[in-house]
Structure 1
Amino acid sequence: MQTVNFKHFPLQAGETVLDLGCGEGRHVILAYLEGDVISIGVDLSLEDLRTTRDKAQAFLQPGNAHKSFGLSAANALQLPFADNTFDKVMCSEVLEHIPDYQGALKEIERVLKPGGLFCASVPRHWPEKICWLFSEAYHQVEGGHLRIFNAGELKQQIETLGFHAFHQHWAHALHSPFWWLKCIFWKTQDSNWVIKKYHRFLVWDLMDKPVFTRTLEKILNPIMGKSVVLYFRKEAN
């Protein structure tokens, strides 16, 4: 499920790109496929990194000298990279999980080159608020969401670190009702037939990308998109 829109986050040949909190690899693999770049994913979970590695095998081009792919287990507060290493940094649906998210933002600023682009996405305030209202377990599970962001406040916090915001959009409107249903029926979600049917619908939409649902989600994203996606440029020194 792609959240970062590379139309607003264009990759140039030869760039080095970091996906911080890459999880099971959706964006780090997409970046590798999108451009002739060095695409690096970082995550704390070794299990997720193994999944990313396995998923990537079908797409890697070992003989292509213009592309490179790498993974690393690391803490977002202590990234194992020198200052000004990356041309682009993505951090999608991660900051809400990190206790010291401001420390992670400072690390992103440190490793990103002046003039480089940063994309952050977090759950949108009001759809997330509904999830918290229906289920405490939703955000109290291990590794769950620690906070609900206000997009405007987060944007201001990032800009105080020396970034300039240049674009914003919303994503995954069709996923909002799915998570509301999961929260309403949290204890029985694995056996609930409505949730199962809705999940099947989302998988079909993801795989087939029918025009109707893609158009519907595009219309609904500004109203009920589950994620808010923010784009920044690091100001030159």
Structure 2
Amino acid sequence: MLTVDFDKLGVRPGQRVLDLGCGAGRHAFELYRRGADVVAFDQDVAELENVAAMFAAMKAEDQVPDGASAQTVPGDALALPFPDGHFDCVVAAEIMEHIPEDEKAMREMVRVVRPGGRVVVTVPRWWPEKICWALSDEYHQVEGGHVRIYTADELIGKLRDAGLRPAFHHYAHALHSPYWWLKCAVGTNNENHPLPRLYHRMLVWDLMKRPWITRTAERLLDPVMGKSIVVYLGKPGAARAGA
């Protein structure tokens, strides 16, 4: 399930792309399929081992174009181990809400993208997230959990202050908002309650089959109740030749 629209981001084969806080690797895998030179970065070493194994399997099964590369790098988002201007694009999907020093992480992210490069940042949308927090403390009061809820203006303002120029934004995953409200209402660790289990089954069916009725419903509902806000930005400066 992708939150970022890579057609809108404009990623092309051969570009260096950082997936910052890659988690299980969903965006890194799609970038690799598109021929990018991907760095999947996260502080969870065990998760990165799984991502590296998937990269290897994708290459072995000829799922990636010739010349594309992928690697995993462990580390801290507050001190990225890359030189200034190293990447053409940076993806930061559902990570900033976990970082207490988010503005420092944003400055580091901006530092490692080249002038003229592009950045996309996604976080949970304010009002669906607010409902989750109201329904359940355990939803966010866990180690590594969400430490803040962003409004769109707050997020875009912080990214602008970090040195980026906002281009446009959209919302994603409207059908996932009710699932998390149900989970929070019955207990996020209650795996046996029938309501979230049935709803989750529907989400898996939608992901695998992509029927027109749910695809249409989500497209219509995303502007109203999309679970995530997705912000596309550029770093001011001259673009590299051919970029």
TM-score, normalised with respect to structure 1: 0.95
Q: Secondary structure at the match of 1:22?
A: coil
Matched residues in 1 for 2:210 and 2:56: separation? 24
Instruction: Write the distance in 2 (CA, Å) between the matches of 1:28 and 1:230.
Output: 18
Q: Distance in 2 between matches of 1:131 and 1:60?
A: 39
- The list of structure 1 runs, each at least 4 consecutive aligned residues, that deviate by more than 4 angstroms after superposition, is 61-65
User: Which residue identity does 1:4 align to in structure 2?
Assistant: V
Counterparts of 2:191 and 2:115 in 1: how far apart (Å)?
47
**C-alpha distance in 1, partners of 2:190/2:206?**
21
Which segment is superposed worse, 156-165 or 129-138? 156-165
User: Which secondary structure does the structure 2 equivalent of 1:136 belong to?
Assistant: coil
Distance in 1 between the 2:210 and 2:41 partners? 29
Alignment: residue pair count: 236
Instruction: Map 1:92-111 onto structure 2 (within 5 A).
Output: 92-111=93-112
In structure 2, list runs of 5 or more residues that go unmatched: 239-243
Secondary structure of the corresponding residue to residue 147 of structure 1: coil
Matching residue of 2:228 = 227
- Aligned match of 1:60: 59
Partner of residue 15, structure 1: 15
Secondary structure of 1:139's aligned partner: coil
Report the alpha carbon displacement of residue 2 of structure 1 after superposing the two structures with TM. 0.1
Q: CA deviation at 1:73?
A: 0.5
Task: Specify the alignment match of 2:40 in structure 1.
Answer: 41
% identical aligned pairs = 43
Residues 121-200 of structure 1 mapped to structure 2, 5 A cutoff: 121-186=122-187, 189-200=190-201
Paired residue secondary structure (2:140): helix
Q: CA offset at residue 188 of structure 1?
A: 6.1
Shift of 1:56: 2.7
Out of 53-62 and 84-93, give the one that drifted further.
Answer: 53-62
| Cα separation, 2, equivalents of 1:45 and 1:156 | 29
Pick closer, same or farther for the CA change 1:236–1:131 going to 2, 3 Å.
same
Question: Where does the alignment leave 5 or more consecutive residues of structure 1 unmatched?
Answer: none
Distance 2:66 2:172 in 1: 34
* Change in CA separation of 1:64 and 1:231 when aligned onto 2, cut-off 3 Å: closer
Query: How far 1:156 moved relative to its partner?
Result: 1.3
CA contact (8 A) 1:8 1:167 kept: no
Q: CA deviation at 1:57?
A: 3.1
Output the aligned Cα RMSD: 1.5
Q: Whole-Å Cα distance in 2 between the matches of residues 3 and 69 of structure 1? A: 20
Provide the residue aligned with 1:218 in structure 2.
219
Residue 13 of structure 1 and its aligned partner are, at CA, apart by 2.8
Structure-2 change in CA distance of 1:211 and 1:50 (3 Å): same
Counterparts of 2:219 and 2:236, CA distance in 1: 31
- Aligned residue type for 2:136: S
Q: Normalization by structure 2: what TM-score?
A: 0.93
1:133-185 C-alpha deviation (Å, 9 max, x unpaired): 00011100111100000111110111122211111000000000000000000
**Residues 32 and 219 (structure 1 numbering): CA distance in 2 closer, same or farther, change over 3 Å?**
same
Cα distance change, pair 180–105 in 1 and its aligned pair in 2 (3 A) = same
Counterpart Cα distance in 2 of 1:201 and 1:218: 17
Contact kept in structure 1, 2:176 and 2:227, CA below 8 Å: yes
One-letter amino acid of the counterpart of residue 77, structure 1: L
What CA distance in whole angstroms lies between the structure 2 residues aligned with 1:99 and 1:188? 24
Evaluate the alpha carbon distance shift between residue 53 and residue 95 of structure 1 in structure 2; reply closer, same or farther with a 3 A threshold.
Answer: same
